Amino acid sequence: IKNLLKNKFKIKKINKFFICLGNIRPVKDPMYLKQIFDILYKKSIYLIFIGNILSGDYSFTKGIIHIGPLEHKYILSCLEQSNGLINTSISEGMSISILESMIHKCPVYCRNNESNSDIIKNNFNGFLFNSPNEFLDLIELDTSNIIENAYKYVIKYHNSLDEKKRYSSLL
């Protein structure tokens, strides 16, 4: 993805980049971090939105890039290369993108809402933020323990074979 950013979007310096996954619509609140976009850009930190714009009018400014939908294999590659997944949703169900990020050892930074806080234990297996400025502070923290704890969490609580057995028993 760094090559895409450098070649297609002519970005010369990239200190960090974060992925925002999912179709863009009001409940995802993609402009939640808008007040810090300039700060991120000055630090050469980029937010990459992956998904279709389903509704709403969004102006992506410098440092905020919308690349549209990607095939699943490319999304996983983006997660593995990125500095983290960002979820700014107002509300959320069981977020597959959060769990996939965790299993691919990509740190997650999520807006503190009921569903996100059911999956993420702040500063243990991911980060929860209540404001854009809090997000700025979190992206400076070391993620090595977070990544490992998140991976273990998904293996223990969201193992696909175990979930398949549980769903089959329900049916």
Tens digits of residue pLDDT in 82-137 = 999 999 999 877 778 999 999 999 999 999 999 999 999 999 999 999 999 999 99
Rounded distance between C-alpha atoms, residue 102 and residue 72, angstroms: 16
Tens digits of residue pLDDT in 35-87 = 999 999 999 999 999 998 888 777 777 889 998 999 999 999 999 999 999 99
User: pLDDT band for position 21 (50/70/90)?
Assistant: very high
Q: Please list, in sequence order, all residues whose beta carbon lies within 8 angstroms of the beta carbon of residue 82, skipping any fewer than 6 positions away.
A: 1, 17, 18, 19, 48, 106
Q: Please list, in sequence order, all residues whose beta carbon lies within 8 angstroms of the beta carbon of residue 15, skipping any fewer than 6 positions away.
A: 43, 44, 45
What average pLDDT does the chain have? Answer: 90
Rounded distance between C-alpha atoms, residue 109 and residue 111, angstroms: 7
In this prediction, residues 143-164 reach a mean pLDDT of 89
Would you state the pLDDT for residue 137? 97
CA–CA distance from 119 to each of 55, 81, 161 (Å)?
Answer: 27, 23, 19
Name the percent of the chain lying above pLDDT 70: 99
CA 61-11-147 angle, to 5 degrees, is 85
